[in-house]
Chains A and B, each alone.
Chain A
Amino acid sequence: MDWDTMISYLPLYKDALLLTLKTGWQGVLLAFMIGVLCAVITHLKVPVLRQITGIYIELFRNTPLLVQLFFLYFALPKIGIRISAQLCGSLGLGLLGGAYMTETFRSGLENIAPIQSASAQSLGMNGLQTFRYVILPQAVSSSVPGLLANVIFLLKETSVFSTISLMDLMFTAKDLIGMYAKTIECLTLLVIFYLIMLLPVSILGSIIERRLRHAEFGN
């Protein structure tokens, strides 16, 4: 182990970490929005849109992110759609994550007992109020464990970004190995930086999960 080399690499890894985090969180945020939207569409059984959502989910859940990114980054320019690598990363991650998030939210919505909406109705709430104040809060809290698992999964998947020449952690490690052949040092740093990125999310996840259990009632 060559400690001096490792220390001299640190700034490069730090930049890569920041880039990974930035692109990753944009992707996660997009995934979250797509997920809520699509889950509501499926839950309310909106015609046409529902079928489109279904196709989208099946397509993106059953193909690897790597292939999706290649398609977005290398293939789309041929039909005139040109997007930067970074946007491509966020977009690809968002689309992949959206498909997973939809499933999570949907099962959250489905798990709410029918008595909840019946009670809300008997209290004189209209459909929108029931959805906004009764169904959605419970659905969100019951889908939190799934959501957090998805977030970790998505942040993990960012390692694929290196293939579309985004300077993320993986890319930096590969680049440094290629240039200086300090394989062990580079890979050790790589593992450490992924731990720095994902361990807090994982720990935070279990804390939030415990907290949100209180929001459940009526079953």
Chain B
Amino acid sequence: MPNLGIDVLFKGTNFLRLLEGLWVAVRISLISVAISIALGLVMGMLMTSKNKILKMILRLYLEIVRIMPQMVLLFVVYFGTTRVFGWNLSAEYSAIIVFSFWGVAEMGDLVRGALISIPKIQYESAQALGMTQPMTYLYVILPQAVRRLIPLSINLITRMIKTTSLVMMIGIVEVLKVAQQIIEANRRTSPNAVFGVFAVVFLLYFLICWPISKLAGYLEKRWA
């Protein structure tokens, strides 16, 4: 059995650093998910509105987000907009902006799906009872829609965590970058560290995302 260099991780604070890197990734995605859910709810409601122009603009926004790779968006925001507008944007803020931009669109589409899946009679009955539109949404529609939404938004969290692996490309030191640093630092003493360390990173991502997606699957089945 050749030395696969997993021992490198237990030298000094290496493993702790790796976990800190993972936390950076998780933190970015949690902040973005929070923003996405809040704005996504509004976006979803707007998408079901009857205003044709508004609908078309939102549709266009969704299509752009669907088509553009997140990496391109990261580059455009971090390198492009800073150049054009001359502002200063830290890499982490850029990442949060991009992930929220993406998440709001995805979340909006999910909310739209959940809202139109609720039978029209619910809206009409609420209206017949003399409820105003905000009241209808708050007390009748949203409580029903949320049930469908929770599993889907939990799924969005795992997608975000997975996509945060890209932020190392704009210079954020997250788990993958830390892994590279550890590998580089130990290149001489254990040349095989690249195998062990990347295997551990692979597992770390799996251990974070797997329970979350299992939970989403469970809730989806239970609440369906």
Contacts and interface: CB of A to CB of B under 8 A. Distances in A.
Interface in A133-165: 152, 156-160, 162-163
Nearest to A163: B169
Contacts of A68: 202
A214 interface: no
Interface in B155-205: 158, 162-163, 165-166, 169, 176, 191-192, 194-195, 198-199, 201-202, 205
Contact of B71 (A59, A71, A159): A159
B72 interface: yes
Residue among A62, A159, A190 facing the most chain B CB atoms (10 A cut-off): A62
Contacts of A61: 213
Contact of A177 (B79, B166, B202): B79
Interface in A148-197: 152, 156-160, 162-163, 170, 173-174, 177, 183-184, 187, 190-191, 194-195
A187 B80 contact: yes
A75 interface: yes
User: Interface range on chain B: under 10, 10 to 19, 20 to 34, or 35 or more?
Assistant: 35 or more
B72 A195 contact: no
B139 interface: no
B205 A78 contact: no
A152 B162 contact: no
B191 to A, nearest CB: 8
Contact of B198 (A71, A152, A157): A71
A63 B206 contact: yes
Contact of A58 (B191, B195, B202, B210): B210
A58 B158 CA distance: 13
18 contacts: A64-B163, A67-B198, A70-B198, A75-B198, A75-B199, A78-B195, A79-B4, A152-B66, A156-B70, A173-B75, A183-B79, A183-B80, A183-B83, A187-B80, A190-B76, A191-B76, A202-B63, A202-B67
Interface of B: 2, 4-5, 63, 66-72, 75-76, 79-80, 83-84, 158, 162-163, 165-166, 169, 176, 191-192, 194-195, 198-199, 201-202, 205-206, 209-210, 213
Given A157-B69, A183-B83, 9 more contacts: A62-B158, A66-B176, A75-B198, A79-B195, A170-B75, A191-B72, A195-B67, A198-B67, A199-B67
